[in-house]
Amino acid sequence: MQGTSPPSPFEIPTGTISSSNSTTSNSTNNRSSRNRGADNRFRTPTPFSFKRPMKYYNEGSKTHFPSKPIRPITPEYLEKANEAPLVLSTPQRLLVILDLNGTLFFRLKRNNRAVTPRPFLAPFLDFLFAHCRVMVWSSSQPHSVEAMLSCGFGDRVSKLDRVWTRKHFRLPQVDYERKVLTIKDLEFVWDGIAQEKKSAAADNNSNNESASVQVEFDQTNTVLIDDSMDKIQLQPYNGIALTDFDEDLAKSGADMELLRVRRYLEKLIYQENVSAYMRVHPYKRDYPLDEDAIKEVTSGESVSEEQVELTDELDDLANRLDKTLFIIMASAVSAIFILDLKGKVLISRNYRGDIPMSAVEKFLPLVLEAEEDSQAPAPCFTDDGINYLYIRHNNLFLLAITRKNSNATTVMLFLHTIAEVLTEYFKELEEESIRDNFVIIYELLDEMMDFGYPQTTESKILQEYITQDAYKLEVQVRPPMAVTNAVSWRSEGIRYRKNEVFLDVVESVNLLVNANGNVLRSEILGAVKMKVFLSGMPELRLGLNDKVMFESTGRAPTKGKSIEMEDVKFHQCVRLSKFENDRTISFIPPDGEFDLMTYRLNTQVKPLIWVEALVENYTGSRVEYLIRARAQFKRRSSANNVEIHIPVPEDADTPKFRSGIGSVQYVPEKACVIWKIKQFQGGKEFSMRAHFGLPSVKNLEDADKRPPMSIKFEIPYFTTSGIQVRYLKIQERSGYAALPWVRYITQNGDYQMRMPDSIKASKMAPI
């Protein structure tokens, strides 16, 4: 463009378009937070200063600044956007402008025509074509746009109003051939449509009224959907900036952004002025999404609860299959061995036949060689192209050998699983039980692994068709349903006369206090343990006072406080997709006892039982202790089976004790005194004194190097974190009534308090 002639409606004289839609995503949030104040009034962005010492607008992707400055936002646009939003009684037909790469698709390489569509793209497009007029505005080259449309749109391409590519911007040659910061000015779209309408009216006679039916578009009825706020900064209240659809999101398949945009558009079509509504209610990437949005993605019709539950089960099954396939492909094992401490093979199973069985003879010499070199033998090592992975259990070695570059963590986990299953079968896993039950062990190994790939590892399922009793060792015509069922951890046909569920919330407190009384470390390790005695295939829903759940729903806890759990780990029966969406713990439980979930709270914990020690050391004669214990919890609670372990010198003798409660015992093999209190009520304080003779003379500095005191306790009906079970719902097709029981327990974990240095002067009266 040269001279002073006005630009064509399809030219952008002050902005440029980039072929990369992901280059400015890092600056989106900062820019939007600056531009939108608390009073919802837009602040005109400062034009880019080309005097700054920056070569690129985005250093990471080498995106240049445009060769021409960016114009400011027009006052007319801001005035129209500052109007009060008004709701229409009937929806209007909006113009929706779509970006492609980074918004609707992910393209791995510029020269690669294969693209990955964003999840829920098909139902999203069907919704748009049913309620809006749709066009594509992409800064990519025409052949790239054509490839993406053919892959992702299919027959829907014919429904598009128009398709704009990089050629429509008539960029200067220097900007056309490089990456530049792109600005999409909607004025050129509106002017272009108006120009086409005028041309159509001029070509037709005035009697032809079809040309006058065309609807004009402006900021009141236009929405631009892109992956960066920088590209829509000239009309910020007409743009929806999505999360950049990159490689990580494409691989996860868990993106639900288009569902949220659809929910937002359902409100926009009833607005008289889109820009006014979006100024007051801007689209957010955490826009609330309920189950109705998921139910309506296919055809706009409601879906039954059974279909939703089936969809959840299929999604969970697909996720587990993906993880299982990844684990299987990365954990091929050639052979499994069980050896004694002398390296003698007790059990061996060669699954793949790709290694000589004599390879096991090198295992023990390699381990002993590492021990002789004063090195801790590694749990996995390689020799002569063969990988050895092992664990030690009692007086046995469980060894896995493989030639492939397998996933070591998965193989080690499988070895631990073998040990757990065999222990559950034989109670004690040792050499004698191996020799007495080798037939059953071979059957178990054949069921647990096939051609070197892990298979069924649930002990309860294995016990259904591999039993210890001889008369039960019959070949079944068909395997149990749990083996081929989607719910592999629970068998069908379970019946109980009385249906009950017992749920225990057990929290262990880890605490370390120094000699001055300062807390150095504190954390809570929690576990939700269950005992399930339910018939059929019940569906359980557990609700906790989860802080994240209350914040996401905007509700406040009805009673007590909410907690924020960390490092949450669930049993495989929990539907993770359901938990990620609405923080509901939904599951079909295994039969019997299992751990539903574990969690951690890294928080400042007030010591529940505070213990102070005063040590008086008489050089070469005796040592005396004054121990005070105080329960720092509410009076209505009591700690049971409290044990306070006080370390004493190893050569102490002639003990004497006096305590106000409980019993005191000297344990010389542990070099400690154990003060036992059967029941310690909250708010109470007790003391104990101990006297020991010292037959030998030691350096006082060595005497003061004593280990810390350790405290054991259990407080029923009490939790340190304040976790609460809000509800436990049980549903089963037969509709039986079940009794849920909930219990809270707080106990010690690694609970230690360091002792102060001993004093020399006599401050205590003799016992």
Confidence bin at 684 (pLDDT 50/70/90): very high
Same domain, 124 and 195: yes
284 and 153 within one domain: yes
Does residue 177 share a domain with residue 238?
Answer: yes
pLDDT for residue 501 is more than 90? yes
Among candidate residues 630, 604, 590, 625, the one with its CA nearest the CA of residue 703 = 625
Mean pLDDT, to the nearest integer, of 234-263?
83
Q: Residue 265 falls within a domain, yes or no?
A: yes
* Residue 427 domain-assigned (yes or no): yes
Query: Regarding predicted confidence, which is higher, 68 or 684?
Result: 684
Residue 101 CB coordination number (10 Å): 23
Looking at the predicted structure, is the pLDDT value of residue 89 above 70? yes
User: What confidence score (pLDDT) does residue 332 get?
Assistant: 78
DSSP 485: S
Q: Which domain holds residue 283?
A: 25-40+58-295
Q: For residues 580 and 629, state if they share a domain.
A: no
Token match 């050089």: residue? 619
* Residue 695 is assigned to a structural domain of this protein: yes
Q: Does 161 lie in the same domain as 97?
A: yes
In a domain, 148, yes or no: yes
Note the pLDDT of residue 216. 79
Report CA Rg, the chain. Answer: 36
CB 5 within 8 A of CB 43: no
Task: For residue 468, name the pLDDT band (cuts at 50, 70, 90).
Answer: low
More confident residue, 689 or 471: 689
Question: What would the pLDDT profile of 513-532 be if each residue is shown by its tens digit?
Answer: 998 889 998 999 999 999 99
Residues 30 and 163 in one domain: yes
Q: In what order do the strands lie in the sheet with 585-587?
A: 585-587, 539-544, 725-731
State the total domains in the chain.
4
Contact 454, 483 (CB under 8 A): no
Pick from 78-87, 562-571, 690-699: least confident:
690-699
Query: Which H/E stretch holds residue 477?
Result: none
DSSP state for residue 129 in the 8-state scheme: H
Using CB atoms within 10 A of its CB, is residue 751 exposed (0-12), middle (13-18) or buried (19+)? Answer: buried
Residue 308 lies in a domain: no
Q: Are residues 506 and 381 in the same domain?
A: no
pLDDT for 13 beyond 50: no
Binning pLDDT at 50, 70 and 90, where does residue 57 land?
very low
Residue 762 confidence class, pLDDT cut points 50, 70, 90: low
| pLDDT above 80: residue 375 | no
Q: Which amino acid is at 140?
A: S
Residue 568: inside a domain, yes or no? yes
What is the arithmetic mean of pLDDT over 124-134?
Answer: 92
Q: What is d(CA 389, CA 409) in angstroms, rounded to the nearest whole number? A: 10
- Do residues 670 and 525 share a domain? no
What's 600's domain CATH number?
2.60.40.1170
> In 6-131, which ranges are continuous DSSP H helix?
28-35, 75-81, 121-131
Q: Are residues 539 and 637 in the same domain?
A: no
CATH of the domain at 195: 3.40.50.1000
Same domain, 77 and 208: yes
Same domain, 562 and 656: no
Single pTM value for the model: 0.46
More confident call, 43 vs 699: 699
**Domain co-membership, 339 together with 469:** yes
pLDDT of residue 71: 82
Q: What is the pLDDT of residue 549?
A: 63
pLDDT of residue 192: 85
pLDDT band at 47; cut points 50, 70, 90: very low
Average pLDDT over every residue of 29-47: 38
Averaged pLDDT, 727-749: 91
Measured CA to CA, the distance from residue 680 to residue 714 in angstroms comes to 10
User: How many Cβ atoms from other residues are within 10 Å of residue 345's Cβ?
Assistant: 15
Among residues 274, 295, 316, which one ends one of the domains?
Answer: 295
What mean pLDDT, rounded, does the chain reach?
A: 78
Q: Exposure string (b/e) for 688-721, b if CB count within 10 Å is 16 or more?
A: bbbbbebeeeeeeeebeebebbbbbbebeebbbb
Indicate the pLDDT class of residue 665, thresholds 50, 70 and 90: very high
- Least confident residue range of 217-221, 229-233, 328-332, 632-636: 328-332
Position 16 in a domain: no
- Check if the beta carbon of residue 257 is closer than 8 Å to that of residue 287: no
Residue 493 lies in a domain: no
CATH of the domain at 336: 3.30.450.60
Candidate from 142-156, 423-437, 641-655, 753-767 with smallest mean pLDDT: 753-767
Give the confidence band of 253 by pLDDT, cuts at 50, 70, 90.
low
Mean pLDDT of 478-505: 75
Read off the pLDDT of each residue in 679-706 and give the average, rounded to a whole number. 78
